[in-house]
Structure 1
Amino acid sequence: MSKHRLVKKTSGFVIALLLLSMLVPVLASAAMYFNGTFTSGGTVSGQVYFDGEVGDAVYAKNGDDVTLSVYGKNGEFISVVTVTYASYSDGKSYYTVPGTVINSVYDAVYFGYDDGAVSSVTSNVYRQSAPPTGCTYCGGGGGGGGGSSSGSTITAFNGSVSESELKNALASYTEVTIKVSGDTLSIPVAGLLNAKEGAILNIVTDHGAYILPLAAFDFKALATSVESDVEDLKLNIGIHKLTGADADAVAAAVTAAGAKSLADAVDFTIGVEGKDGKKADISNFDRYVKRKLPLTEEAKKTATVALYNADTKTLSFVPSLVSSTEAEFWRNGNSIYTVIELNKSFNDIQSHWGQADIELLASKLIVDGVTDTTFEPNRNITRAEFAALVVRSLGLNLVNGTSTFSDVGSDSWYTGVVNAAAKAGLIEGYEDGTFRPNAAISREELAAMIVRSFEYAGGESSVTASTQNDILSKWADANKIVWGQLEVAKAIQAGLMDGMTDSTLETYGQATRAQTAAMLKRFLVKVNFTNP
């Protein structure tokens, strides 16, 4: 079974982003630099150093402390801070910045020095982002691949960055941010080839961000696709805000869904270009890749990122976490995305035990009603219907064409979802080669598919033979589990499955639509694919 893991956030992974030095009048030829962090909690720490002849003559060797001014990135004075002399080497004087807490309203600051003879400032130091609370599995970006380095920022000019800038930044840092003023960026692949293991590029524009793990790219294969050498390859990235008729089409789809829009519609694209100008699109990755969208309006609990399908003119769920100002989302493909808010309910779930879960998933475009006003929470669900739900929950692309199952035709409504679920290793057929799409799914089968989906999304549930027996021994009817003892034990341990009573699991029973919604919601929340 193929399992795709999200790149995990590294706890405490710090990001200190440096911009180009600000142009200010200088009274003498000395430069001041900062190397350190500005944490999400507001603490700035690290070192500043002076470089140049004046620095050699004035600041160094005497061991005196130096008083610096701290400014917001807009030039507003914040406070003064005393930095302690640390060392002198090769014309550079190093000073230690204490753990200084900066007012939380600032997202970037810089240090300034002026003694009447010398005046200099550092580049802007950007505050790192705080990870979502309890975000165990939300990878594909954000915190990097386990490195302990601080981040570095490169500012793109005219939609491109230089090979040398990339090499220098990636030689020292695991995560490098590239600030883009427009909506396209061209990256020379030669600047990426010697990056540290787990390196990530954080491409930031006004319309959104793309957090790209370099391990997601097979540059040799991409070079072959455009008949080029790897060293001559360019990575072309687009984060385009839709306008005109394209934006109107997305707005119409939002209205048709009964939702309202909380963000601009943005098209995320990636492609490669060879030396002779030949190009190829990169439409899919072998892992989840993280992106971000800024919100135009504050979001509520039911908000979600939605993918817009230009062919069907419809919206679908995208695994995402939405804060009051920003949406983070994960997919292994490229498309047009926006953020919507919908409040959906049904007449026949009022006061039902599964009402909250059903309403949440319906509002996020994961589950549908049988009609606009009814959900039929106690009706059994088929194997094909549940395959469609897990494919939708994971944001997977449909896989049309011939199925590996003898009873799944190429023109059935469920062909694309069954093929996609099988390709991802989420479902299995029977020994006779059938899938039995219209058969009611049992709670045992439901547990197995939920656990596989949980693991596909990066969830971990380690159950040994001993712990499996301990878990199942608590249930009087565990001996009626036919084949999925391990999967059921994992589902219980991970908190994905409950018993029907305090002492029975009833894995032999048929799963209802309400039970399915409850298990889907637990799984999505545990892997941080939706807000609780």
Structure 2
Amino acid sequence: MTKLLKNKTAAVLVFAMIVSVFMPIIAFAATINAKFDSSTNTITGSVYLTDEEYGALNGNTITIGVYHEDGTYSTVTATYSGKDGIFNFDPITITENTYLGYPDDSSVVTDLYTYTAPVYGGGGYFPPANVINADGTVNRDALINLFNANADATIHSTSDVVLLPADALIKGKSLTIVLEDGTSITLPIAALKLEELAKSLGVELKDLVIRVELKKVTGDAADKIGAAATAVGGKQVAPAVDFKVVAVAGDKEQAITTFGQYVSRTIPLNEVAADTSGLVGVLYNPVTGEFSFVPTTFATENDKTMATLKRNGNSIYTVIQAKAVSFADLAGNWAQKDVEALASKLIVKGTSATKFEPKRNITRAEFAALVVRALGLEVSGTTSKFKDVASDKWYAATIATAVNAGLITGYEDGTFKPNANITRKELAAIVTRAITFAGKDVTLTDEQISAALANFKDAGSLGWAKGEVAVAVSEGIVNGQTATTVAGNANANRAEAATMIARFLGNVGFVK
């Protein structure tokens, strides 16, 4: 912990119960913004009170109780800054775990929150020393206690293999595992379906262990990944990490390959990135030797750039510096910037090395493949519910994946019409569903739908897609073909499809 304290400097947000020294004992749920100074092992910052809390004060100071893990106790005074309910406090020296709280009785510490050394922008509870052992095994009771303190818990491991007791894991909401270099994975516990796993392996939950691996790829496998980056005109700028989650019951194992929702993973870049616009988070397929796009954001802090990759499945992930892509027939085209950016991120492809054909219509199958790539979804299954989608077609697995994600539907006659041109309203509807799948609530009231479409005189022709097109308009995904027409029943072309995908990725924060 001392090493972490000396090496990290970051702002974190912690919560504390605080009380005015001029009033009877009254607890406030205030917010403390604290910044850690590694040179002095102190935090300084300010306390923010709501208008209601500030109005209840009788004076211009508040007192914060400071409880240290070694049992010592002190107080610090925060003084009103003169504006917006903000009270500033002087430096507080912190130890391994420092609790900021309501100074009632120093012998009783309840409902308090922990300030700890931040790790790559993180903060919150550090586990007690006995939560995880050097070999990666996690203590059941200690993990339960950790979840009792915070349902979204974090543990730090020196081992790249962590063994979690399922009957303790089920007590929490999420668990983030962080390695010493910042590599991490955040597991949404409900998505693991632990009770179903135990049943499928024929054991009780108490006999089930979840093995989480965050292993750097080395040797010949690592060389192949570097060569694959070179082959696409790029450069690998982060280690490749093989993330695995496996249910273990005695000598039986079952890999958890998909989660049904996005799972976040972080990987440190080899060097600080001054410009991340050309960086692409990717999945590496060891069978085909190819990369595919993964929704990724980047943040630089404490002289380290971290990539956060979001995807619904496990695999090998890394980051590459992509090759800039251009198409001769896009010069001066309104969609040029969006199309070429998506091409460099391995989301769209040209019809040849030099052509994109922006005005060519796009089929329903082609757009299904495009949105699945943009979402970084694990493509699985080839069985389709549509009678006109044969399992041996190139698009069968992609359509099955899109259906399972709730992105596309077929027609009442049981067909999908994969080779039919997709209309603008169908395209907008799929992108709206993709926004929802990404976790953003874009529900509109009837009044909001009408307001979003008020400028389009042809809005009445949208039919079943009216609500979804309204969302696409309100979210800035669709601008209308003209100022007064949305042209929902017109066929969409490749430029329009790519532009909507680019806007979608920015809208949900999948590129940054």
Are residues 248 and 491 of structure 1, via their aligned partners in 2, closer, same or farther at CA, if it must alter by over 3 Å? same
Partner of 1:189: 166
Q: Equivalent of 2:295, from 316, 319, 327?
A: 319
Q: Offset of 1:348 from its aligned partner?
A: 1.5
TM-score (norm 1): 0.75
Partner of 2:85: none
Are residues 268 and 111 of structure 1, via their aligned partners in 2, closer, same or farther at CA, if it must alter by over 3 Å? closer
Partner of 2:308: 328
Partner of 1:340: 320
For CA contacts below 8 A with separation 6 or more, give which structure has more relative contact order.
1
Q: Return the letter of the residue paired with 1:425.
A: G
- Equivalent-residue separation in structure 2 for 1:173 and 1:400 (angstroms): 37
Q: Offset of 1:87 from its aligned partner?
A: 9.6
> What are structure 1's unaligned runs of at least 5 residues?
1-18, 23-33, 48-69, 113-122, 131-141, 144-149
Q: Offset of 1:94 from its aligned partner?
A: 2.5
- Equivalent-residue separation in structure 2 for 1:87 and 1:366 (angstroms): 51
Greater displacement, 408-417 / 393-402: 393-402
Q: Return the letter of the residue paired with 2:281.
A: V
Partner of 2:141: 164
- Equivalent-residue separation in structure 2 for 1:512 and 1:319 (angstroms): 24
The aligned runs of 1:145-224 (5 Å cut-off) are 150-153=124-127, 154=131, 156-195=133-172, 198-206=173-181, 208-224=183-199
Q: SS where residue 484 of structure 1 aligns?
A: helix
> What are structure 2's unaligned runs of at least 5 residues?
18-34, 45-61, 78-87, 99-113
CA contact (8 A) 1:387 1:421 kept: yes
1:96 paired with 2:75, answer yes
Q: Offset of 1:475 from its aligned partner?
A: 0.7
Partner of 1:412: 393
CA contact (8 A) 2:76 2:90 kept: no
CA contact (8 A) 2:36 2:117 kept: no
TM-score (norm 2): 0.78
Q: Return the letter of the residue paired with 2:298.
A: V
Partner of 2:57: none
Are residues 483 and 256 of structure 1, via their aligned partners in 2, closer, same or farther at CA, if it must alter by over 3 Å? same
Are residues 124 and 243 of structure 1, via their aligned partners in 2, closer, same or farther at CA, if it must alter by over 3 Å? farther
Q: SS where residue 400 of structure 2 aligns?
A: helix
Partner of 2:281: 305
Q: Return the letter of the residue paired with 1:41.
A: A
The aligned runs of 1:272-421 (5 Å cut-off) are 272-274=247-249, 276-297=250-271, 298=273, 299-324=275-300, 325-342=305-322, 343-421=324-402
- Equivalent-residue separation in structure 2 for 1:85 and 1:473 (angstroms): 53
Q: Return the letter of the residue paired with 1:459.
A: K
Partner of 2:489: 508
Are residues 158 and 124 of structure 1, via their aligned partners in 2, closer, same or farther at CA, if it must alter by over 3 Å? farther
Q: Return the letter of the residue paired with 1:268.
A: F
- Equivalent-residue separation in structure 2 for 1:521 and 1:308 (angstroms): 22
Q: Return the letter of the residue paired with 1:239.
A: L
Q: Offset of 1:493 from its aligned partner?
A: 1.4
Q: SS where residue 96 of structure 1 aligns?
A: strand
Q: SS where residue 187 of structure 2 aligns?
A: strand
- Equivalent-residue separation in structure 2 for 1:351 and 1:505 (angstroms): 24
Partner of 1:271: 246
1:470 paired with 2:456, answer no
Q: Offset of 1:466 from its aligned partner?
A: 2.7
Q: Return the letter of the residue paired with 1:163.
A: R
Number of equivalences: 438
- Equivalent-residue separation in structure 1 for 2:97 and 2:163 (angstroms): 32
Q: SS where residue 390 of structure 1 aligns?
A: helix
CA contact (8 A) 1:262 1:340 kept: yes
Are residues 469 and 227 of structure 1, via their aligned partners in 2, closer, same or farther at CA, if it must alter by over 3 Å? same
- Equivalent-residue separation in structure 2 for 1:436 and 1:293 (angstroms): 41
CA contact (8 A) 2:120 2:182 kept: no
Are residues 190 and 205 of structure 1, via their aligned partners in 2, closer, same or farther at CA, if it must alter by over 3 Å? farther
Q: Return the letter of the residue paired with 2:388.
A: D
Q: Return the letter of the residue paired with 2:257.
A: S
- Equivalent-residue separation in structure 2 for 1:84 and 1:485 (angstroms): 55
Q: Return the letter of the residue paired with 1:165.
A: A
Q: Percent identity?
A: 38
- Equivalent-residue separation in structure 1 for 2:89 and 2:66 (angstroms): 20
1:126 paired with 2:114, answer no
CA contact (8 A) 2:160 2:179 kept: no
CA contact (8 A) 2:66 2:76 kept: no
Greater displacement, 158-167 / 502-511: 158-167
